[in-house]
Structure 1
Amino acid sequence: MPNEFFMWFIFLWSIFIFVLISIGGYFMFRKFLKKMPKEDGKSILDWQDYYIEKTQHLWNLEGKAFLEELVEPVPVLFRDVARDKIKGKIGEVALEDEASEITRDHIIKGYCLATPKRDHKFLVKKLTEKNIDKSTYQQYL
């Protein structure tokens, strides 16, 4: 008969594996929901890709560098996903404004709309660092 230590190890290991599989399943399910088509026939990710593709030519080097600074605190593993989400929202804002170039204003508005409120404190810190007036974007923060 196995000793008590081994039985506890198997029990705790089973719980650990169950938790890891549950966490992975949760994120996979979220991705699945984002891929589901909405009423218009396109999913959230389809619209995001559409806006990125439509505004690809509007980006300048300064805008790309500023976006990279804003996604810097995101862990490397999730940075590409965050960058694409923010870039899609920036593209949507730029297309609504019928802009000929993506400006810092579009980037800040898109960042605010694409990220949760808890992440805006980093944006405020970065705006202060670059001496950009925050009052213009107060409605988005």
Structure 2
Amino acid sequence: MISLFIILWGCLLIGLMAIGGYFMFRKFLKRLPKEDGRSIMDWEEYYFEKTLHKWSQAEKDFLEELVSPVPELFRDVARQRIASKIGELSIQKDEESITRSTLIEGYILATPKRDHKFLRKKLKEKNIDIAPYEPFFQQSKEDYQENWEEKYKQKKS
């Protein structure tokens, strides 16, 4: 009986360490510098800090509503990642302040497809038309075609 308990306890510890190691490894990969010398997390922090002054209280509150379904343990990370994507879009659009449109667009692009159902529901509750954002909903990674990066680079140049 005790040997069975020890085996189960060992399996549990190994499983928990594997899960923790997986998340630590993912964070490590995000910290590795890319071709431009900056990591994904460096760029997230850059856009977040660069656009911090552009956020109005109403937009901060709306973002907080949108990240509310994220478990509290991960909410800060999700909020920063989404806010940095919104900031990046704001810089690209050369906006003076974060608009509701940019916030929704950035949220769609920064979140996985499974979260879009919640966003659609929230936008419907707020009586916000979803039609202008449909192309962004379609840009989910699961919908990308083969060689999309090459086509995007050709289209951009």
Q: TM-score range by the shorter chain?
A: over 0.9
TM-score scaled to structure 2, two decimals? 0.86
Per-residue displacement from partner, 1:41-97 (whole Å, max 9, x unpaired)?
A: 000000000001111111101110100000000011100000000000000010000
Counterpart CA distance in 2 for 1:121 and 1:140 is 13
Counting only pairs closer than 5 Å after superposition, residues 117-132 of structure 1 correspond to structure 2 as 117-132=113-128
Larger radius of gyration: 1
Residue 8 (structure 1) shift = 0.6
Question: Is 1:102 matched with 2:85?
Answer: no
Counterpart CA distance in 1 for 2:24 and 2:11 is 20
Question: Is 1:13 matched with 2:9?
Answer: yes
What's 2:34 paired with? 38
Counting matched residue pairs gives 137
Counterpart CA distance in 1 for 2:40 and 2:84 is 10
Unaligned runs of 5+ in 2: 138-157
Counterpart CA distance in 2 for 1:14 and 1:97 is 53
Amino acid at match of 2:17: I
Counterpart CA distance in 2 for 1:64 and 1:15 is 43
Select 2:44's aligned residue among 23, 43, 48. 48
What's 1:139 paired with? 135
Residue 140 (structure 1) shift = 1.1
Amino acid at match of 1:105: S
Taking CA–CA contacts closer than 8 Å with sequence separation of 6 or more, which of the two structures ends up with the larger relative contact order? 1
State, as a whole percentage, how many aligned pairs show the same letter.
Answer: 59
CA RMSD of aligned residues (A): 0.5
Select 1:111's aligned residue among 107, 119, 142. 107
TM-score scaled to structure 1, two decimals? 0.96
